[in-house]
Amino acid sequence: MRLSDSPELNDGFVGFYKRVFTDGALDKKTKEMLAVAFAYGDGCVPCVRAHEAKARRLGMTDAEYRELVAVCEVIAAGSVRERFVESTG
């Protein structure tokens, strides 16, 4: 089932999405960059592509993107390290 198959769920999601991705304490570019990072963590390639494109339209630079990816890599590596430490006692 897709959200579009259920208009009441789809409309609720779209409304939530639009409210979240407006300027607030965080600007739209920052929110889109966070979305890219979370999408990498979730392994959602279509989400990465969509949010990266939006972040770039909002002014994300190549340097910012490289740092974003580096943060994702560090968090992923740290997670693996912690699981190793936990598993070896």
Q: Where are the domains of the chain?
A: 25-88
pLDDT-derived band of residue 50, with 50, 70 and 90 as boundaries?
very high
Question: What CATH class is the domain 25-88?
Answer: mainly alpha
Whether the pLDDT of residue 2 is over 80: the answer is no
pLDDT surpasses 80 at 1 = no
Dihedral (CA of 37, 39, 43, 48) sign: negative
Mean of the pLDDT values across residues 46-55?
97
Residue found by looking up tokens 């960059």 in the block: 33
Instruction: Please give the residue that has the higher pLDDT: either 9 or 54.
Output: 54
| Confidence check: pLDDT of 89 > 90 | no
Percent of the chain topping pLDDT 90? 72
pTM of the model as a whole: 0.83
Collect all residues with Cβ–Cβ distance below 8 Å to 9 and sequence separation of at least 6: 3
